[in-house]
Amino acid sequence: MAAEEAQMDANETEAAGYDDFGHGTTGLNKYTLLCALLASTNSILLGYDIGVMSGAVIFIKENLKITSVQVEILVGSLNVLSLIGSLASGKTSDYIGRRYTIVLAAVTFLVGALLMGFAPSFSMLLLGRIVAGIGVGYSLMISPVYTAEISPAMKRGFLTSLPEVFIVSGILLGYIVNYSLSGLPQNINWRLMLGFAAIPAVAIGFGVIAMPESPRWLVMKGRTDEAKRILIKVSDSSQEAEFRLSEITKAAAMDLGQATSSSNSNWRGQGVWRELLLSPSRPVRRILIAAIGINFFMQASGNDAVIYYCPAVFKDAGIQNKRQLFGVNVIMGVAKASFVLISALYLDRFGRRPLLLLGSIGMAVSLAALGMGSKFLEHSETKPLWALIVCIVAVCADAAFFSIGLGPITWVYSSEIFPLRLRAQGTGLAISVNRLVSGVVSMTFLTISKKITFGGMFFVLSGIMVVGTVFFYFFLPETKNKSLEEVWALFEDKDKNDDGKRGTQMREM
């Protein structure tokens, strides 16, 4: 009799739109989707910069008469300086909230875009890149963290991968702008290319007005009533909202070492760096290894550098016409945009690990093929068409596999594996590694390629992805369909996990 009643309750629960643990099982909440879209739009700023700079730098070099080393500094400076924003964003978002940190990111990038667009010299252009880089660092951390904190478990993979969708959309937009403005005079086209980034920055700043604050941040500040009102809006039912609030409240009380009350209002992220770097527990250490590792391999794969210097690679391969070079970029941008959408739509169905492993294996193979094609062209005076086609297909395949795996999943994974109190600053730390590696690769890509050729460089990147695939297989557990509070258990000691499983089984009985 008791079993029949339990089954009836389960059926009623499922019909109401959530499972036994309060996770939504119905369609995506429209308000949640709107908030995620607005937050993720911030990421279009980085994408646009990556895409537009790949073409603009050709005209900047010719117009300002700068050297190849200055080109590397100009391109890589944004990535290196963005680690300052990434490191600062965690503490900032714990102090002023996730929502206002998004505004800060947009305003900072706006200033940088204007400085670049009106720059009369290389030094002023570099200053604009530095300011814009800090804004990018803020946006890369805060967009996925905010989205993860408002998303239900069953849809979190899709929603938290939206920042990568917007990054790729920004890259494609940058390619299209390059192609459209390439016919203008040299002293005008690159300024317009870089200055147009101010437009989405302004739109984002105003769009944030419609967004609520993260309910998890509000709970940490002791503003439980406000958090509940927001959870009701982003949940499918009041019962699901109550369940999510209960989970968040318990996690916050455990994280902060005290009952969640108004006394939490003085918490501003203090003590987190000490716990992350000086005295991490074994679960925190495992989380750091996973988060820093996936961010390291995302950029060590050379994806940003390949995008930045794709015109230079194909110019060396034999394509001299600038519009044709930008046309190859547009093709690669379409490939990235198409496959990142596929990954986002199926991320919650197939899980993080299968798509991540598929993407990294595909990148290793694509980069090896690109290396072989480049090597052939390097030793061929005729530059045969079939070899160029192989290289173009390999570049597009590398971009596509990146968009299936590392591209979206890095943001998803980084934002969901840290416990509540450590999430903002832990994610900021991991993404700062991301930006540092991206900057180092971008600033050394041309120099190293001159020593070992482009083909040799692609073989090195292929080897890095083989190592990355092994790392992902052994160190990254699956997190799909788990609440942010449940993900923590995946990194706890085995005996604790066993106790947790027994507790789950008892609740189900």
pLDDT tens, position by position, 413-443: 988 899 878 888 888 899 889 888 988 887 7
78 contacts 151 by C-beta, under 8 angstroms = no
User: What is the DSSP-derived secondary structure letter of residue 413?
Assistant: H
User: Which tens digits make up the pLDDT trace of 33-57?
Assistant: 888 888 888 788 778 887 788 778 8
Model pLDDT for residues 262-320, shown as the tens digit of each residue: 345 555 556 677 888 888 889 999 999 999 999 999 999 988 777 767 777 777 666 66
Residues 6+ apart with CB under 8 A from 407: 164, 167, 168, 298, 303, 336, 340, 343, 359
What pLDDT, on a 0 to 100 scale, did the predictor assign at position 505?
Answer: 38
Question: Which token pair is 11?
Answer: 């059926």
Q: Is the pLDDT of residue 250 over 50?
A: yes
Asked if residues 352 and 487 have their Cβ atoms less than 8 Å apart, the reply is: no
Residue 22: what are its φ and ψ, rounded to 5°? 80, 10
Give me 378's structure tokens: 């390097």
Q: How confident is the model at residue 363, as a pLDDT? A: 95
Q: Round the CA-based radius of gyration of the chain to a whole number and report it.
A: 23
163 within 8 A of 75, measured Cβ to Cβ: no
Measured between its terminal Cα atoms, the distance across the chain in Å is 13
Token pair listed for 507: 């609740």
- Listed in sequence order, the residues at least 6 apart from 199 whose beta carbon sits closer than 8 Å to its beta carbon are none
Q: Tell me the CATH number for domain 17-508.
A: 1.20.1250.20
Asked whether the beta carbons of 269 and 91 are under 8 A apart, the reply is: yes
Instruction: Calculate the alpha carbon distances from 17 to 27, 32, 238, 505 in Å.
Output: 9, 16, 11, 22
Whether the predicted pLDDT of 5 surpasses 50? no
**Torsion angles phi and psi, residue 286, rounded to 5:** -65, -40
- pLDDT tens per residue, range 87-122: 888 888 888 888 889 889 888 988 988 898 888 888
3-state secondary structure (DSSP) of residue 27: coil
Note the pTM of the prediction, 2 decimals.
Answer: 0.75
H runs (alpha helix) in 196-281: 198-207, 215-220, 224-234, 238-256, 272-273
How do the domains of the chain map onto residue ranges?
A: 17-508
Of all residues in the chain, the percent with pLDDT exceeding 70 is 85
Decide: helix, strand or coil at residue 161. Answer: coil
How many angstroms separate the CA atoms of 411 and 56, rounded? 27
Neighbours of 62 (CB within 10 A): 12
Q: How many CB atoms lie within 10 A of CB 228?
A: 19
Per-residue pLDDT, 271: 67
Quote the distance between the C-alpha of residue 497 and its chain's center.
Answer: 29
**Token pair in block for residue 434:** 């991301």
**361-397 residue pLDDT tens:** 999 999 999 899 888 887 777 777 788 888 888 888 9
Rounded CA-CA distance 506/151 in Å is 27
H or E stretch including 193? helix 186-195
For every residue of 271-314, which 3-state class applies, written as one string?
CHHHHHHHCCCHHHHHHHHHHHHHHHHHHHCCHHHHHHHHHHHH
Residues 6 or more apart whose Cβ sits within 8 Å of residue 314: 325, 328, 388, 391, 392
State whether residue 318 is helix, strand or coil: coil
Whether the per-residue pLDDT at 13 is higher than 50: the answer is no
Closest CA to 401 of 335, 462, 322: 335
**Residue 18 backbone phi and psi in degrees, to 5:** -150, 160
DSSP 379: T
Distance between CA 79 and CA 85 in Å, rounded?
10
Residue 229, pLDDT score: 92
Residue pair 102/142 in contact (Cβ under 8 Å)? The answer is yes
Closest to 460 in 3D by CA, of 368, 330, 351: 368
